[in-house]
Amino acid sequence: MTFDLGKTAPNVVTEGRLRSLMAEGFNAEVICTSSATRKAAVWYGKWVIRGVSQDGSSERLLVLSRASADKDEVQIREFKTANGLISFLSDLGCSHANIPLKEGGRSTHTLQPSEAD
């Protein structure tokens, strides 16, 4: 049996679908859920990403695409290092990364027309 996140949890999105939505004009909003601290040259914190339509009428939280032990449970994709978050944003096609370092901070990433291709 295939698990369909779109039918079960309409306010979530997987990485592949987020990539498609961004190409259609959605933004990736990075939200800091735990303030960052630096150890040596690495910043540690907790961040999540939401896909948000340009008019703000649709929001979808990024979740893991792999199945969990409990098929009915979706897991929020959480980034624990700034390096991991930057790598993910780069893989989405973003040419820059603006990372909030304080809990509750938010930043928006939009693909430029040349980046969406």
Report if residue 116 sits inside a domain.
no
Report if residue 115 sits inside a domain.
no
Note the pLDDT of residue 115.
52
The residue that leads in pLDDT, 9 or 18, is 18
What is the C-alpha separation between 93 and 114, in angstroms, rounded?
A: 10
Report if residue 27 sits inside a domain.
yes
Task: Output the pTM of the full model.
Answer: 0.83
Q: How many CB atoms sit inside 10 A of residue 36's CB?
A: 20
Residue 46: which domain range?
5-108
Report if residue 114 sits inside a domain.
no
Task: Quote the number of domains for the chain.
Answer: 1
Report if residue 65 sits inside a domain.
yes
Strands (E), 18-64: 27-39, 42-52, 59-62
What value does the mean pLDDT take over residues 7-36?
89
Report if residue 45 sits inside a domain.
yes
Note the pLDDT of residue 3.
40
Band of pLDDT at residue 67, cut at 50, 70 and 90: low
Report if residue 117 sits inside a domain.
no
Report if residue 73 sits inside a domain.
yes
pLDDT at 109 over 60: yes
